[in-house]
Amino acid sequence: MKISKRNSKILLSAVLLFAVALLQNCKKDVAHTAATAPPTQGMYALINDTAWTAVTVAASLQYTGFSTGKIFTCRGTMGNKMIQLIASQSNVAAGNDFPLGAANGNSASFGYYILPVHLNLTEQNPTPGTDAGTSLVITAIDTGKRLISGTFTFPARDSIYDAFGNVILVVKSQINNGFFKQVPYVYTP
């Protein structure tokens, strides 16, 4: 079968036109996907530069006894990941308040955990508030409505062990731009 020059030009033009039409329909999905904004209430953070928004958030403020102190805890979970923040205040009276500003690093701890926390051959320890790069700041507290807000940043590391108890891997994570906003808290006197 012999194809004439004229027919080959028409065939080539048709193939090119089909290819252009096909490519016009192949657009990146990213162009249609809007960036997800952080929530206006709840807990949010960037974990290793990936956005993470807690599905459940719980906070508590516990008075530990006569002029001894208070412990603030805020925990958010999504899937098998959990962020837990703990800050203490010493030598204070009972009450459902907590001071605004940076938490005392000596009495704060930060946790980023892959659940369950007690994975086989894995040690997931909280990061002390005295470690470089840690920050917990209480930005607002409404004692009437019992709502609390704040920001946090911290590094986390998990140690993975072999069957003989030797560390074979240290997994590091960086939690940045974290915040909890208008989270209801339970006060225990």
Does 12 score more than 80 pLDDT? no
pTM: 0.74
Single-letter residue type at 148: I
Single-letter residue type at 43: M
Single-letter residue type at 184: P
Does 143 score more than 60 pLDDT? yes
Find the angle CA(119)-CA(177)-CA(50) to the nearest 5 degrees. Answer: 55
Greatest mean pLDDT range, 20-34, 60-74, 142-156: 142-156
Q: To which residue do tokens 């994975």 refer?
A: 119
> What length does the chain have?
189
Does 2 score more than 90 pLDDT? no
Inter-residue contact 74 to 183 (CB < 8 Å): yes
pLDDT digits (tens, 9 = 90+) for 31-62: 333 445 566 789 999 999 999 999 999 999 99
Cβ count near 177 (within 10 Å)? 13
Inter-residue contact 82 to 74 (CB < 8 Å): no
Which pLDDT does position 54 carry in this prediction?
A: 96
Residues 100-127: what's their mean pLDDT?
A: 80
Share of the chain above pLDDT 90, in %: 46
Residues 107-111: what's their mean pLDDT?
A: 89
| Inter-CA distances, 154 with 2, 10, 68, 144, 146, Å | 73, 64, 27, 30, 26
Which pLDDT does position 31 carry in this prediction?
A: 36
pLDDT higher at 6 or 18: 6
The per-residue pLDDT of the chain, averaged, comes to 81
SS3 for 29? helix
Which pLDDT does position 182 carry in this prediction?
A: 96
Which pLDDT does position 18 carry in this prediction?
A: 45
Inter-residue contact 106 to 129 (CB < 8 Å): yes
